[in-house]
Amino acid sequence: MDWTREALTDRVYEILREDLLSVGDEFTPRSSLIEAGLDSLAVTQLLLAIEESTGVWVDESLLTEETLASAESLAACVHAQIARA
Amino acid sequence: MPKSRAPDRVPLTGADCFLRAFDHEVRRKSGASHLSQLVLRLGPGFDPNALAKLIAEVAEAQPILRAPIRRPFGVLPPEFRLDLAAKAPLPRVEILDAPRSPGEPPLPPLFAERLNARLDGRRGELLRCDVVRHAGGAEGSDVAFTWLHMLLDGSGSERFVRWLDEVGQGARSAADLPDEPTTDSAVASARARGDQALRWQARMRSFASRAPRSLAGPLARTPQRLEVDLATFTREETERIVARARKLAGFLTPMLFYLAASVRAHRSVFQLRGIDPRSFVVPLPVNLRAKGAGGALFGTRVSLLWFQVFPEACAELEGLLADLKAQRLAAIKEGMVEAGTAAMDYARWLPRSAYARMARRSFGGELCSFFFAYTDEFLPGMTSFLGAPIENAFHAPSVPPSPGSGAIFSLREGRLNFSHVRQAGVFSGFELVRFRRSLRADLLGEAE
């Protein structure tokens, strides 16, 4: 499957919302992931789920305060990694 | 926490039972309990009598704070017996006056003494509180909450203190606990959980090929005599350390940086003794609470990720970190967080001595190389407790006489706290200097 940035955002958001975070309706693709309680274990589980969906492992060293700002920014980081792969 | 079969009984979690096994071992061999402690260093304006009244009020409203822990029929998984709590004494609050030395004053020796005492969970003795006032409180107070470890884990204890403050300030009632989220993730079948537990056991057994040595040596019959040192780094130093941890270990995994520095500090003492540690085996607690949820105060909600590193991989901090990162990722990929939980769940059914027997078989008599925890920011955003400013706050969990050394890191208002909890006599004075130098050099990236 060819992953567009929008499709990736939807997938990342879905994994976070359904499987990893305990969040309400106020959580959107632009919400802060750190404030939503994302921790190191959840991030690694997220990366594993992304790998399962896309076949691409996102190098953890690429994760920064900026890339983890929201589901949208994280999806952009993943999209760039897929483009390079 | 698993749902209770009856509203007046709360089953212990698997992790609670794991800690209960430690408690059993420590009671049997060292005369103490396996406790944990949270210390608040407060400025002026603290009223210890208000705290005593508050503790009594919340213990009346929340019976789990003094619920006897019993195993039904002597064989079923243990439970907090809320129905028996009313007969148990209220948590003790003791107030002591002591002078305070200028500068960064040492911790009151009373707090370490409390870690060496016994709390009897069967009688509902789960929590106690000690206040040391300086100049009648005009120069501040030190407050220690000490509890049987299965009542609260590190994160839960901070949530408990925050909740206690909210009750004390009248922002919520003592009967009103934060919402505890329910997780609707699919629960694995009994067979799948059995497989997970077996995988965890196999992983533990794999460490046996080069079983670790602790600085204290295998657990023997010896009275527990814990000492606690607190090192608080300056804001400037902490900024450098935090930046270094992010750079070397990654934005979200700074705990590996502190773990690597702690491994190397313990290794430096082995080097001084001229003893081969064979390997370092260290458990890393992993918080299992629903992410972003505010509730879940009571009970231990952790799994453990176990690491094994060999001395030859510890020569350089960066190399050791690469090893730890790879192990962490592999362990999470292999489902070792879930496997650890499944294994600990089985511990609910086993006799308390079973884990220690398994550890001894796998690790040549040792439980692990040392205890380690990194709990991140301590009570972020909370600046006062019951009206008194919080000057500092940190954890000091007890460490059994073997491994005899525990390294606990946390951040408070821009300053890194390192609590070194250790059995008296395990480190000589010279070894302690070497240990601290090694740790400091790695944290700050300075030459020793």
Which residues of chain B are within 8 Å of residue A59 when distances are taken between CB atoms?
none
Q: Do residues B250 and A63 make contact, with C-beta atoms less than 8 angstroms apart? A: yes
pLDDT recorded at residue A56? 86
- End-to-end Cα separation, chain A, in angstroms: 14
Q: Which two tokens stand for residue B300?
A: 């231990």
A-contacting residues in B 221-260 (Cβ below 8 Å): 250-253, 255
Name B440's Cβ contacts closer than 8 Å, sequence gap at least 6.
B446
Residue B334: what pLDDT?
93
CB of B134 within 8 Å of a chain A CB? The answer is no
Q: State chain B's mean pLDDT as an integer.
A: 92
Check A21 against B325: CB less than 8 A apart: no
Q: Is the pLDDT of residue B279 over 90?
A: yes
Higher pLDDT, B87 or B352: B87
Of residues B187 and B432, the one with the higher pLDDT is B432
Q: For residue B4, what pLDDT is reported?
A: 43
Can you tell me the distance from the alpha carbon of B254 to that of B321, in angstroms, rounded to the nearest whole number?
A: 10
pLDDT at B53 over 60: yes
> Which chain B residues are Cβ-neighbours of A65 within 8 angstroms?
251
Select from A26, A4, A31, A61 the least CA-distant residue to B326.
Answer: A61
CATH code matching the domain that covers B9-168, chosen among 3.30.559.10, 3.90.180.10, 3.40.50.720, 3.40.640.10: 3.30.559.10
On the CB side of B385, how many CA atoms lie within 13 Å of its CA?
Answer: 28
CA B157/CA B160 separation, integer angstroms: 5
Q: Which chain A residues have a beta carbon less than 8 Å from that of B333?
A: 48
Q: Specify the amino acid at residue B104.
A: E
CB proximity list for B346: less than 8 A, separation 6 or greater: B14, B197
Q: What is the DSSP string of B147-188?
A: EETTTB-HHHHHHHHHHHHHHHTTSS-TT-PPP-PPP-SPPP
Q: Which residue from A37, A44, A63 is facing B291, i.e. has the nearest CB?
A: A37
**pLDDT at residue B184 in the model:** 47
Enumerate the β-bridge partners of residue B244. Answer: none
Closest CB to B292: pick one of A37, A40, A65: A37
Mean pLDDT along residues B118-138: 96
d(CA B2, nearest CA chain A) in Å: 18
Q: B36: Cβ–Cβ under 8 A, 6 or more apart, which residues?
A: B146, B147, B149, B152, B153, B154, B157, B395, B396, B397, B398
Range(s) of the domain holding residue A80: 5-84
**Using one digit for the tens of pLDDT, what is the confidence trace for B282-329?**
999 998 887 777 678 898 999 999 999 999 999 999 999 999 999 999
Q: Residue A56: give its domain's CATH number.
A: 1.10.1200.10
Q: How confident is the model at residue B75 (pLDDT cuts 50, 70, 90)?
A: confident
pLDDT score at B5: 45
Taking residues B386-391, report their average pLDDT: 97
Specify the pLDDT at position B325.
95
Local structure of residue B107 (DSSP, 8 states) = P
CA B132 from chain centre, in angstroms, equals 22
Q: Do A22 and B337 touch (CB under 8 A)?
A: no
B291/A40 touch (CB, cutoff 8 Å), yes or no? no
B-facing residues of A in 11-50 (CB < 8 A) are: 19-23, 36-45, 48
State pLDDT tens for residues B154-169: 999 999 999 999 999 9
Inspect the interface and report whether the beta carbons of A39 and B250 lie closer than 8 Å.
no
Tell me what pLDDT residue B187 has: 63
pLDDT number for residue B3:
47
pLDDT digits (tens, 9 = 90+) for B167-222: 999 999 999 988 776 554 556 788 888 999 999 989 988 998 999 999 999 988 89
Distance CA B52, CA B205 (A): 47
Of A59, A38, A39, A35, the residue nearest A47 (C-alpha): A59
Q: How many helices (H) and strands (E) does chain A have?
A: 3, 0
Total structural domains within chain A: 1
| DSSP-H helix ranges across B174-289 | 190-206, 235-249, 254-273
Which residue do the tokens 């453990």 mark? B304
* pTM, 2 dp: 0.93
A56 close contact with B: CB closer than 8 A: no
Pair of tokens at residue B197 = 């537990």
